[in-house]
Amino acid sequence: MDNNNLKRIHKIVLLGDQNSGKTQLREDYFGSGFNLDYKLSIGTDFSIHNFEYGGFSYILQIWDINAEEGFQRVREVYYRGCSAAIISFDVSDRSTFDGIPKWITELVENNYYSTIPMLLIGTHFNHNSREVSKKVNQNSREISKKFDLNSREVSKEEGEDLARRLSNWSSFEIPYLEIHQNEDANYIMNEVLIKLVNNLDLSAERIIKNMTEMIVAMLDENEEEIIEYVNSQKNDFSFYRSGISNYEIDLPQYTTTKLQDLAQKLNISKNELLRRLIIKVIP
């Protein structure tokens, strides 16, 4: 098997209010991205996280979306085509927890009004000094215990309850975890990423199933409409929803034959016609 078939690439947006801990979360667990000047100009930052699981190499493109109000119109571009979202809030700042519905609404409105897998993270980071973070690493259990007692504004039960409600709404299991710098944090993150990639696979399977059904129906009933649609389009059919092109689309044999016959009439390849039909029906 070609090694390319073992790779699954997904675009994931990282959302949350300013001071929600999302940027430190990305830097600590997913790697640093663009330089500051470039980030300010495009309204986002970007990291790559490689994750091996189930015989596949998952390449997670993490887009850290700028939370400032002035970047709202810019953010719309980065939502489109995302496969999943990581949403963070600071457990010591209730306003960042209360802001989560706004981010979910913005995500849905700018991503085809569809629900996608999500991961909810409560952070325990100090935003004022990286030196304090180093001290947390040195004595994590003592400091995190003190933090929980003295600084917490959002309980773990509230985070878990929100994750349950989001799971019921989205039909995906949305994990909730809390992250502070300690020796177990990377292990915890890896365990949760397993749940996330399982949901990514489930999401892709659902989309492909719906796409397949729609393509079969189109080829059964609307050959003239397909010909008109293909002939009316420009030649640039490069767009795919992120993550979908990593998975096989298995059409029934009789549909494959019809696809081949129609492609010959249009004087294009079968794969090109299928790609154009995918773009027509993609949710």
Q: Taking the domains of the chain in order of start, what are their residue ranges? A: 3-206, 208-281
Q: Give per-residue pLDDT as tens, 84-108.
A: 999 999 999 999 999 999 999 999 9
Arithmetic mean of pLDDT, 252-276:
90
Question: How high is the pLDDT of residue 138?
Answer: 44
The CATH code of domain 3-206 reads 3.40.50.300
Q: Sorting pLDDT into bands at 50, 70 and 90, what band is 158? A: very high
Question: How high is the pLDDT of residue 5?
Answer: 59
Q: Sorting pLDDT into bands at 50, 70 and 90, what band is 44? A: low
Q: Which range, 65-69, 110-114, 166-170, has the best average confidence (pLDDT)?
A: 166-170
Q: In angstroms, rounded to a whole number, what is the distance separating the alpha carbons of residues 271 and 234? A: 17
Answer whether residue 64 shows pLDDT above 80: yes
Mean pLDDT of the chain: 80
pTM of the entire structure?
A: 0.79
